[in-house]
Amino acid sequence: MNGNEFASLDRQATGMVDPQNWMVILDGRLVLATLVLAGLATLAFILRLATGKAMPGRIGQGLLGLAALTSLGQLIDRYAYMIRIDPHYWPLSNLFESVMFVVFAILAIHLVIDRTYKAPGFGLVSAGLVTIIISLASLLPPRLRDASPLVPSLQSYWIKIHVTLMLVSYAAFALSFVAAVLYLFFHYRNQFLQPRSIGAMAARQPENHTALMDLLDELTYRLIMLGFPILAFGIITGGLWANHAWGTYWSWDPKETWALITWLVYAAYLHARMSRDWQGAKAAWFAVAGFVSVLITYLGVNYLATGLHTYGKLL
Amino acid sequence: MADGPSTPATDDSAPLDREQEAEVRGPEAWVTFRNGFISFWASIKLAVVLICAIAAASTLGTIVPQGGPEDVLALEEMSLRTREFLIGIQAYNVYYSAWYLTLLGLFFLNLAVCTYVRVWPRLRFALARPRDLPIPARDHMPDQVRFADATADQVAQTLRRRGYRVFPAKEGFVADRNRLFRFAAMVVHLGLFMILIGGITAGLTGYKHSFPLLPGESMPTRKAFEDARTRGRLTPLPDDFKVRLDKFWTTRYPDGSVKQFYSTLSVIEDGKAMLTRTIKVNEPLEYKGTTYYQSFYGIGGEILTVARGIESRIILGNQSASTKLQGFITQRFTLGKQEVFAYNTGKGDHFEILTFPMLGYLGDARPGQAMTGGGHSVAVKRVLARPGVASVRLNVGGKPLVVPVESASRFKMQGYITRQIVFGSRKVFLFVPGPDQPIQVVDLDSIASLGTLTPGARKAFGGVGVRFDGTVQDAAGGGPVAAELVIDGQAQVLRMVELERTGFRVQGAASDPVEIGGRDVVVMQSAEPPGSPLWILDARDSTALAVMRPGERADIGITQVRWDGPVWFSGLQTKTDPGLPVIYAGFLIVILGTMMGLFNHEQLWVTAQDQGCRVGAKVNRGRFTFRRHLGKLFGSLGGQLLDSSPLEKGAAA
């Protein structure tokens, strides 16, 4: 695997991007560096949880910090190079770019929120998620990695606001999803262990299992509380843009409908949490459903039907 | 319930506290009804159920194309029963169907009642001073901090410095922060209501009108809006002015795709040009409360026909349209560097050679007359067809009946259908899968299958006995399966598939059905790429009768058709939406409300002791964060966060 496999600025077809340019090479290297750092951080956090020693956790935290820097560096490098080719460029013009932005957003949200938790479990969630996302993204066919020229309706400063907000909310929801899945894992494991005997339960489980679940529950909740207003803002700026471009702020296009569905599912999560018998696992299932809806909105809709966002096969 | 002791709230979803119960007292039956109504409709569980129901219902419209019942018929293979069901629930128009709107109505009723019972108590709570608590209650707060040396006054001072509101209380202080943000959910609800009101206003008064203009043409705005009035809308009328298109043009990327399109518009009022401006997508023109958007573009124009020496002119509609071309195409092959394929209507052995994927037209080839051009040639050697069904033989009530069939491919089904037949009291049509296969009798009104008939079998439909005597074969009616073409001198056998199954469409401008040469035709022309041909399609089955390049002539029957080339038009849209400011305000309030939810309400009670003091604290969400915050806040004063709950271990892990 060499850095060039990650050189996603491959616009040779249109002859606009020079693959030999140092900035293009750097772009690929920075993607690779982010992947390696996140992968190493994942290992460090696994080590931290397995051994109970504090050092690997600190190393993992440091590696994630570095990964956030390389990820930011990659976005800036790409922007600095592309803006000379296309003065309206924004580094979210295709699926690969948007995924790399989500990676940066995940790392940034992690670093901000983890200041209050400093929990290796959360470190593992973020590092593992980033590793998986970049690995999958590097498998994308070149077609989805090339930046393509923007159709008329996309040529607007609104793209910068709308798409950026949507992706930041997806990042928060991705983290909340992993936290919710871990919560459910512990929940069902405990449920599975319970009927045996209290002795077995005490012997088998780490003594702080409920505390860990409380932490995961709070993480899920906080991340959704963060993503929820950003998603609302994102959907609404999309409406404002649509009104500006087409004279309609809402047209039930599949992508906007799915964004609304996502918002509704998270609204259901927030309400379910208020009701005593729907707290815990039931609410966590809503968080999982919410992220499934995010994935459909982000990736799935473009294969469902035609609509205003069909150019979004790249977004 | 009215005279008994108030039922204790079982969970948060039964929101009536004592204070409110006192408010809702009234005549007994009314109170019973009212309390029942309120506690049902104010329930948060109901809200979760309704939100989930709306989310689930909304997915339907992203799977079924939204338009008309024909969109359901055009869906990929599915049973008649499923189609019938989808049409029955208006799956093609979900978001405006009665049941979906009812669901939304129930949701907003839930939201209204829920907000009504909570808004005032919440507002009072949010605006109130922090409440003092007796000392035992303070000690039962989830989070406790002990101070060995620092006095209650010192703690209070620290809190004040950090932005808490601090009030003296019994034997100490009570403090809080972000109390106002407890109102967040109510703000979001109010915002949603404004969006609802704005949406209803838009539905009653808003008006949108799309119109194509050729350069030099103009559109009287007021007249268009008067049309909306006559259709019962309360649309406000603009002043009497016209918008004239002076010029329309497009810019393109190097690969030929459209980068942007522009229209120069002039507003004409009282015969004077008031203003001239160039608009593009994302840059509309606003004039006196109406907005003009660059919405689409396309080509219009006219064709000339000559029959028996009489010349006539057919104006092409400049409505943008898209038609699925019917017929058969070959596998792709290359002519030089260009990928091409051959198109055949399924009747006869005449082929059109078209470029892939843009449907550019190179010429036509038929037996004995090869297509030549650009140094290439394509000749037709023979067409291999599969036998099909020409008609169905029936015996209805003792009388023989032969019913011709047509391909069912426009319903995306393999096989044939008949036109309408009357069986006694029923109007039906038949679905014929293939030669001598069992046929299905389908009710015309409900599109429900009434039963299957195998060859030779008899069944009763609509009160008459019907026997199916078999199908009449059509030697080539199953359509071509392969064609042998001679491409640049080399014979090649190419597989052929039905176009319907590939989804090819001719996109662009379509005329209304007109009669040319004794046939009903539709004239279509594609806007892209430049230089696209003109298609004359059979209005009945969308097969191509002629494909023409600018300046070319073609014969349909005895009529000669001439086409000089396309004329571009600019598609504009104007609209007025008096609901918009309300909707935008609602948007703003929803954003504000959801953001308010990011702040947590923290409450602290400081109790002085002989030596030092202690603090009981509580937060409405995010205990881990809060405890860490408390640790930082009181660390310098020597505060000891009590390790009373298992939370701390998790946080420290």
* Pick from A139, A136, A147: nearest CA to A97: A147
Q: How many CB atoms lie within 10 A of CB B549?
A: 16
Q: Is the pLDDT of residue B646 over 60?
A: no
Q: Is the pLDDT of residue B466 over 60?
A: yes
DSSP A196: T
**Minimum Cα–Cα distance from B93: chain A residue:** A252
Helices then strands, counting H and E runs in chain A, come out as 9, 0
CA distance A119 to A177: 17
Residues written for chain B:
653
B312-318: average pLDDT:
67
- Of all helices (H) and strands (E), which one includes residue B276? strand B272-280
> B230-241, pLDDT tens digit by residue?
777 778 888 888
A201-212: average pLDDT:
53
pLDDT of residue A146: 61
Residue bearing the bigger pLDDT, B643 or B383: B383
Q: For residue B48, give the nearest of A120, A249, A271 by CB distance.
A: A271
Please tell me which of A116-130, B171-185, B403-417, B565-579 the model is most confident about, judged by mean pLDDT: B171-185
Q: How many CB atoms lie within 10 A of CB B345?
A: 22
Lowest mean pLDDT, pick from A176-190, A203-217, B146-160: A203-217
Q: For residue A304, give the nearest of B52, B62, B629 by CB distance.
A: B62
Interface test with B, best of A274, A282, A299 (most B CBs within 10 A): A274
Interface test with A, best of B624, B625, B628 (most A CBs within 10 A): B624
Q: Is the pLDDT of residue B434 over 70?
A: yes
CA distance B609 to B628: 24
Q: What ipTM did this prediction achieve? A: 0.85
Q: Is the pLDDT of residue B9 over 60?
A: no
The verdict on a CB contact (< 8 Å) between A264 and B55 is yes
**Minimum Cα–Cα distance from B191: chain A residue:** A232
Q: Is the pLDDT of residue B315 over 80?
A: no
The mean of the pLDDT values for chain A is 81
A94-111: average pLDDT:
91
Q: For residue A155, give the nearest of B282, B629, B647 by CB distance.
A: B282
**Minimum Cα–Cα distance from A242: chain B residue:** B282
* Chain A partners within 8 Å of B282 (Cβ): 152-153, 155-156, 158, 244-245
The verdict on a CB contact (< 8 Å) between A245 and B594 is no
Mapped onto helix, strand or coil, the DSSP state of residue B2 is coil
Q: What is the CATH number of domain B128-178+600-652?
A: 3.30.310
B345-367: average pLDDT:
77
Q: For residue A305, give the nearest of B65, B261, B646 by CB distance.
A: B65
Q: Is the pLDDT of residue B412 over 70?
A: no
The verdict on a CB contact (< 8 Å) between A221 and B257 is no
Q: Is the pLDDT of residue A201 over 50?
A: no
Please tell me which of A151-155, B541-545, B634-638 the model is most confident about, judged by mean pLDDT: B634-638
> B501-559, pLDDT tens digit by residue?
565 666 666 777 778 877 888 887 776 666 677 888 887 777 778 888 777 788 887 88
Lowest mean pLDDT, pick from A122-126, A160-164, B64-68, B165-169: B64-68
Structure tokens belonging to residue B251: 């810019």
The verdict on a CB contact (< 8 Å) between A271 and B650 is no
> B220-271, pLDDT tens digit by residue?
888 878 877 877 777 888 888 889 999 888 887 776 677 888 999 999 988 8
pLDDT of residue B508: 67
pLDDT of residue B281: 86
Mapped onto helix, strand or coil, the DSSP state of residue B239 is coil
**Minimum Cα–Cα distance from A153: chain B residue:** B281
pLDDT of residue A275: 80
A67-90: average pLDDT:
87
* Chain B partners within 8 Å of A265 (Cβ): 51-52, 55
Q: Is the pLDDT of residue B493 over 50?
A: yes
**Minimum Cα–Cα distance from A212: chain B residue:** B650
- Of all helices (H) and strands (E), which one includes residue B323? strand B319-324
- Residue A133 banded pLDDT, cuts 50, 70, 90: very high
CA distance B283 to B295: 11
pLDDT of residue B218: 85
pLDDT of residue B26: 58
For the four alpha carbons of B585, B589, B591 and B592, in that order, the dihedral sign comes to positive
Q: How far A50 CA sits from the closest chain B CA (Å)?
A: 12
Q: What one-letter code names the amino acid at B468?
A: F
B463-478: average pLDDT:
81
Which residues are paired to A220 by β-bridges? none
Q: For residue A245, give the nearest of B62, B254, B281 by CB distance.
A: B281
* Neighbour-count burial of B59, counting CB atoms closer than 10 A to its CB (0-12 exposed, 13-18 middle, 19+ buried): middle
Q: HSE, CB side, 13 Å, CA atoms: give it for residue B403.
A: 26
The verdict on a CB contact (< 8 Å) between B261 and A257 is no
B491-505: average pLDDT:
74
- Residue A200 banded pLDDT, cuts 50, 70, 90: very low
Q: Is the pLDDT of residue B47 over 80?
A: yes
Q: Are B616 and B140 in contact (CB under 8 A)?
A: yes
Percent of chain A with pLDDT over 90: 42
pLDDT of residue A204: 47
pLDDT of residue B3: 37
Residue bearing the bigger pLDDT, B478 or B441: B441
Q: For residue A233, give the nearest of B281, B591, B623 by CB distance.
A: B591
The verdict on a CB contact (< 8 Å) between A267 and B51 is yes
Kindly report whether the peptide bond that precedes residue B357 is cis, defined as omega within 30 degrees of 0: yes
